[in-house]
Structure 1
Amino acid sequence: MTAPRNTVDTGGGPGFLHGGSGDQHITFYAAGFRRRRADRFVSDEHIAWLAARYVSPEAPHGPLFGEHRTIVVTGPDGAGRRTAALMALTDNATLDSGRLRELPDRAEDDECPLDPAEIRPGERLLLDLTRTDDQRVRDLRRDLEAFRHAVDHQDARFAVVVRGEQRALLPEWNAAMVKSIRRPPGRAVFEACLSAEAIPLPTTFQVPDNLEPYLAGSPVREVADLAFLTAEAARRGARDTLSDWMREAVAAHVGRGHQAALLFREHQDPTLRALLVVAAFLPGASLDDMVAAENAFTTIVKPPREERHSLGGSYLAERMEKVKLHVDGRRDVAFTELALDKAVRAHFWTYFPDLRGQVSDWVAHVAPRLDTESATGLVEYFAEQALGTGPIEPLYALARRWSEDAGPKPLALQVLDAGLRDDTRAPEFRRFVYDWARKSRTPAGFATVMIEACTVTIAPARPIQAMVRLHYFTRSDDASVRDLARERLLELVYRRNFERWLIHRLATVISHPADRAILLGLRVPDWVAAGSKTRNHLLSLWRPLMAEGIGTLPEAPVRAWLAEHPLLLVEACDQQVRLLSRLYAFARDQVRTADEESREARLRSALALQHHIDTRMTAARLGEA
């Protein structure tokens, strides 16, 4: 189950009942709802949202995680396999999702998709293979086996989600690790979702006979979608009984595509069709904003129209009534039928492909002139259509255009956010950010927006991909971009305990002058620095700095490293008396220039440094003897 949005038949599909195989990904955006996290965005908000609506599937073997730390979750399509795995990993939202990470099924940024060395102690890991082709699953067999052993060693948990027929492609693990679930009762799912929307289902309520099949046989996602549309019908106040609300919700799925097509067929007048399209992209906007947006639409799209007096022909209320918009004194734009706006957008985008480029220009012009809520909705609806059928290049162009220093950066971030959350297009958008991150002259405004996208959207589920991109942004020619990227990179490293990963990257990728500031600003726990590989990497990073001269480095970060890891800096001098003398002189000067409050701490640091120097030099003399 994911946060649902209106899913409407466009006239050629089977209607509400799931007509194809595989899990459905449905997201619901309607008046009164805030945007929900897309399925692959594993955040505290998304986990809590799922937990409030979650009904445990029927699992014949008890809890999914028992004595094993790795499980394989499978079951029929539509049973809620992924959600069940997420809830098991997070103990029904009692675990901080900062310890939860989704693994890619293929390499990105030249990184290994399943690297045992990247597993953090106690981490919770999800690998969803339900959309992965069989050959790729076979290719992962050896990596999966090594990864599972590392999970046990790190006291972590690992859930692999597969389709039923994929089980034979996995390593031959203990049969008890395979957890086959069954679909939870439809009424229970419906009731939980309604309750989460503050609409309790009475215990005596009888589901109408013609609606019972939806609860009994539909995939979990569709039952959830029916509940959300039922809640929206209740909020609209169009009916006064739960049965009526349910019927209206079902009608929103089954008949809206046909209604949208009928509206376009019945109204050949370009001005009416323009009004229809503009209203569909601006539900909830004020009437004045809609009129302004309609004028801009007719200017950009340029439908043929005769010159006539503004008081001639049909006036606004008449035109609104013809295309099923409210004309009852409401001051905001709304269709009289639930979810009709969604169907109109889908029909227009599908059957008027030659206008897509002009609609992109219209969105670019209109969105910054609207209030925040209307602009957010317009961008969301436009991105939804573009991501579904393409082309997606206009979304890239909008992100660049709106990220200019004087432009509406929140809209630029929203465009990137929509692409990065889309199950199908997300890899293309991650690659888009990656390519721009590697360019040192990326415009500062655009770089800032992409840095925020890395932090907010990529990092929760894919922290390594986010850190790779942030690292490249630290190499920008613009100082403000470098500083912001470094700050966000270190924050992410600390939050997710990826200090070892960052040290390894600094030591093994092609070095850059900007890496020095990252190293100096990095705080490394003792237990991390004590690891043999990590310590060797740290020594390789500090040796050139010590050889260059401790006096050339900023005082504050060097002082912090001296206080936390004095022996490391001594070892980085490689027993060279000249370098050790400089290091000790630096520590001595820090004591001499300290104020009363910090002098004692700096003195202790200098004495510890002196002890390590004496010990190393004595050992060296004895070795020579």
Structure 2
Amino acid sequence: MNQQGSTRVENPQGFIHTGAGNIYVNGGPHQQDSDKPAFRRVAEDQLRWLRRVLVNPPGMGKARAMLADTGTVILHGAPGSGRTAAARVLLRNCRRDSGVFHELLPGEEDELALHDPALVGTGDQLLLDLSTADDRQWSAAQADLPALRKSVHEQHAHLVVVMPHDGTLDPDLQYYRVDIERPPGRQVLRRHLRIHGMPYEQYMRSDATVDEFVAVKRPMREIADFADLVRRARETARPDEEFAQWCAAAKRARNDRRKEVAARVAGLREAPQRALLITVSMLHGAHADVIHRATQLLLRTLASPSDGLPLLQHKDLAERLTEISAATGPSGHVRFTELDYDAAVRAHFWDHVPDLRPHLGTWAVSVVDLNDPHVTSAVRDGLVTRLAGQYLRTGRGDGLASLAERWSIEATSRARLEAAVHALTCGLEDPAHGREFRARIYQWCAHRHLRGEFAQVLVRVCADVLAASHPDQALLRLYYLAWHEPEPGPALQALDDLVAGSRRLRRRLLDRLARYGPSAPDLGIFLRVCDPAPLTDSSETARALVEETEVQRSLTTCWHAVLAGLPRATWQPHAARWLHRAADDTAHRGELLLDLLVSAAEQCGERRGEAFAALYASAREAERTAPGGPKHSVETTELLMHKISVAQGLGPATRPSTSARGTQP
């Protein structure tokens, strides 16, 4: 679809269309789950929409049964058959509270290998789209699939692989293969029209344009695009026009209009005429007041001289719009009289007036900043989307990325930050440029000194866009952003929110923090994400994170660095949370928390006595703030003291059976 979702900097709950593949998103409202992170709601909204418009292709039932029975299905189908859409819907139907959707990207920078067990979390829904892979990539992926399938089985996850159409599948994997065939084109078109709100009595009647369109076997994306054209033709049609006219307008919009637009531009010799033509194409559907002000801004941006005529001798806007085949509707919004004429105009000026390109970015952000009630978020997003579309259409992703960075550095308003976020979102969503933008964002986050408000923009892009389908990549980028924050801020909050939704991601972050010897910024991140509640929670699996050997090693390493390198006032509140959790948890997991703290202090070498004393003092302080009352906290302090004595060789290893101090702190 041509309509883009919107991204709000101040509200991470806004709807966003993310990811590549056969997903066609309508910007209509969906019921939101306010208690879930934004990136989880985004992914679920996308998949919910896709599930509504998908016509189950032949083979879908067999694929569903295979996935339910084995946890794995390998889809094979011709390009355009809807195989990727089918894969996403299959995973949507497997969604559980304990897992996240994750699109695997083997070979990309900082991505885990397919055979790495850390790639799969409990209940995850994994998509491995290799529909465009070459022979080398497909062969390498097949070699790793047995190990990946083993991890999927152990974690009760689900994996859907989309294999290349001309790929050869290993005999050991043939059992999991299901062939997906193209569903009937007319049925697909009608489903999209129905979801778009088209009257049943209209789209069910016979129509010559529709008959001609569905007579050709077309990709599912092309059918969806045509349905969207029919929808937009209906929205701009006269009251006396019906389905046949809407479809005819959609058909005309699919024609190549390059010569037509070139002839139109050649006949418009004056700068104000061309400025108006460009403005209407970039702000198509905006209110006439916005069109007028934006046209004046474009002329100023291009330093076009004034004609010097008195105001009342100027042509009025209605006359000027007629000259470019546009008009103002009853609601005051301006559109070209021909459907999708705006796209042809944009392409013409971008391709044939290259010196105009750098000025369009400056002009666009000045329009975004306009203080006008008609300059709504939809108008701003539409303008950025259309400008980004020209950069991406012509392979100039670097130019779009630089533009978003410049807007963020020069930002004096929230609207500019929103525009920068939306520009980067367009790049990430583009199938041809998504990988480039993911890599560029990595370089920004890891290796660049970010000026202005660009770090805030990258936080929102990582948390609300990238995390929806590539949470591992979002994790690493947010880690770097949090690492560079001068004090705990939005990056650390977003990182904390991200790992809160996934045991696997929390495990991976802890491993990252501990692996290279925690630095001072690492310790700040660790104290934020070492919440003992998710570490000891076993509601989704038989074993809690704190019971895993590798997690214990990471926690001990980080706590050792904290005790050795930070003042007690800094880590005391976090240690108190561990002690309170240990007091509340009557199972062995609570005692494990104490063991890890003591083990961390024991590694402090010559300063271990100081570390033990600091832990004991912290336990005494924690007794006064224990939410469950002092009794269990006093017992926890005694148990901690016993473990410290054992570690120092000062007492028996036998655990004390009762409290000798009663309930007084």
**Which TM class, normalised by the smaller chain length?**
0.7 to 0.9
Runs of 4 or more above 6 Å deviation: 32-35, 618-623
Tell me which of 436, 439, 453 is aligned to 1:445: 453
Matching residue of 2:527: 520
Change (3 A) 1:44 1:141: same
Tell me which of 383, 391, 413 is aligned to 1:386: 391
* Structure 1 position 42, deviation (Å): 6.9
Distance 1:304 1:204 in 2: 51
Distance 2:626 2:228 in 1: 63
Whether 2:98 is the aligned partner of 1:91: answer: no
- What does 1:61-460 correspond to in 2, within 5 Å? 62-66=62-66, 67-91=69-93, 95=96, 99-109=100-110, 111-112=112-113, 115-166=116-167, 168=168, 170-202=169-201, 205-216=204-215, 217-238=217-238, 239-254=240-255, 256-302=257-303, 308=309, 310-312=311-313, 314-327=315-328, 331-369=332-370, 371-372=375-376, 373-404=378-409, 406-407=412-413, 408-439=416-447, 441-443=449-451, 445-460=453-468
Change (3 A) 1:26 1:596: closer
Does the 8 A contact of 2:25 with 2:46 survive in 1? no
Change (3 A) 1:206 1:332: closer
* Structure 1 position 60, deviation (Å): 7.8
Q: Deviations over 1:370-391 (max 9, x none)?
A: 6233222211111111122143
Matching residue of 1:15: none
Does the 8 A contact of 1:42 with 1:97 survive in 2? no
- What does 1:466-481 correspond to in 2, within 5 Å? 466-476=474-484, 478-479=486-487
Q: Deviations over 1:15-60 (max 9, x none)?
A: xxxxxxxx9868688xx8689xxxx997111111111111100118
Q: Secondary structure at the match of 2:133?
A: coil
Tell me which of 572, 579, 592 is aligned to 2:600: 572
* Structure 1 position 424, deviation (Å): 1.9
Distance 2:111 2:652 in 1: 46
Change (3 A) 1:97 1:452: farther
- The one-letter amino acid of 2:637's match is A
- The one-letter amino acid of 2:185's match is G
Matching residue of 1:504: 511
Q: Deviations over 1:205-251 (max 9, x none)?
A: 33324431422422222222222222222222335322222222222
Distance 1:396 1:128 in 2: 26
Change (3 A) 1:622 1:273: closer
Q: Secondary structure at the match of 2:172?
A: coil
Change (3 A) 1:117 1:234: same
* Structure 1 position 203, deviation (Å): 9.2
Tell me which of 541, 554, 560 is aligned to 1:543: 560
Distance 1:313 1:589 in 2: 79
* Structure 1 position 598, deviation (Å): 4.4
Change (3 A) 1:568 1:60: closer
* Structure 1 position 459, deviation (Å): 0.6
Tell me which of 486, 493, 497 is aligned to 2:499: 493
Change (3 A) 1:348 1:97: farther
Does the 8 A contact of 1:283 with 1:341 survive in 2? yes
- The one-letter amino acid of 2:551's match is T
Q: Secondary structure at the match of 1:254?
A: coil
Matching residue of 2:550: 533
Distance 1:614 1:322 in 2: 90
Q: Deviations over 1:167-208 (max 9, x none)?
A: x1x544332311111111222212221221222433993332
Does the 8 A contact of 1:121 with 1:156 survive in 2? yes
Gaps of 5+ in 2: 5-19, 31-39, 537-543, 582-592, 655-665
- The one-letter amino acid of 2:186's match is R
* Structure 1 position 142, deviation (Å): 2.3
* Structure 1 position 337, deviation (Å): 1.6
- The one-letter amino acid of 2:636's match is S
TM-score, normalised relative to structure 1? 0.86
Gaps of 5+ in 1: 7-22
Percent identity over the alignment is 28
Change (3 A) 1:392 1:198: same
Change (3 A) 1:152 1:25: closer
Does the 8 A contact of 1:107 with 1:113 survive in 2? no
Matching residue of 1:55: 55
Aligned residues: 593
- The one-letter amino acid of 1:508's match is R
Matching residue of 1:484: 490
Distance 1:259 1:41 in 2: 43
Larger mean Cα displacement after TM superposition, 397-406 or 424-433: 397-406
Distance 2:210 2:326 in 1: 28
* Structure 1 position 289, deviation (Å): 1.8
Does the 8 A contact of 2:445 with 2:481 survive in 1? yes
Larger mean Cα displacement after TM superposition, 150-159 or 569-578: 569-578
- The one-letter amino acid of 1:58's match is P
- The one-letter amino acid of 1:381's match is R
- The one-letter amino acid of 1:366's match is V
Change (3 A) 1:203 1:230: closer
Change (3 A) 1:233 1:97: farther
Does the 8 A contact of 1:455 with 1:466 survive in 2? yes
Matching residue of 1:12: none
Tell me which of 448, 462, 465 is aligned to 2:470: 462
Q: Secondary structure at the match of 1:459?
A: helix
* Structure 1 position 444, deviation (Å): 5.6
* Structure 1 position 308, deviation (Å): 4.9
Change (3 A) 1:547 1:426: same
Distance 2:400 2:531 in 1: 38
Q: Deviations over 1:90-115 (max 9, x none)?
A: 118x6569621101132223754663
Q: Deviations over 1:261-319 (max 9, x none)?
A: 34224434443222111111011222222122112212223568866555557543222
Distance 2:145 2:264 in 1: 53
Matching residue of 1:11: none
Change (3 A) 1:594 1:397: same
Distance 1:468 1:329 in 2: 50
Distance 1:303 1:132 in 2: 50
Does the 8 A contact of 1:454 with 1:469 survive in 2? yes
Tell me which of 530, 551, 555 is aligned to 2:572: 555
Does the 8 A contact of 1:69 with 1:152 survive in 2? yes
Q: Deviations over 1:120-150 (max 9, x none)?
A: 0121100111233332223333223321222
Q: Secondary structure at the match of 2:285?
A: coil
Distance 1:300 1:596 in 2: 62
Distance 1:366 1:511 in 2: 46
- The one-letter amino acid of 2:223's match is V
Distance 1:242 1:110 in 2: 49
Does the 8 A contact of 1:128 with 1:160 survive in 2? yes
- The one-letter amino acid of 2:500's match is Y
Distance 1:441 1:601 in 2: 48
Matching residue of 2:616: 584
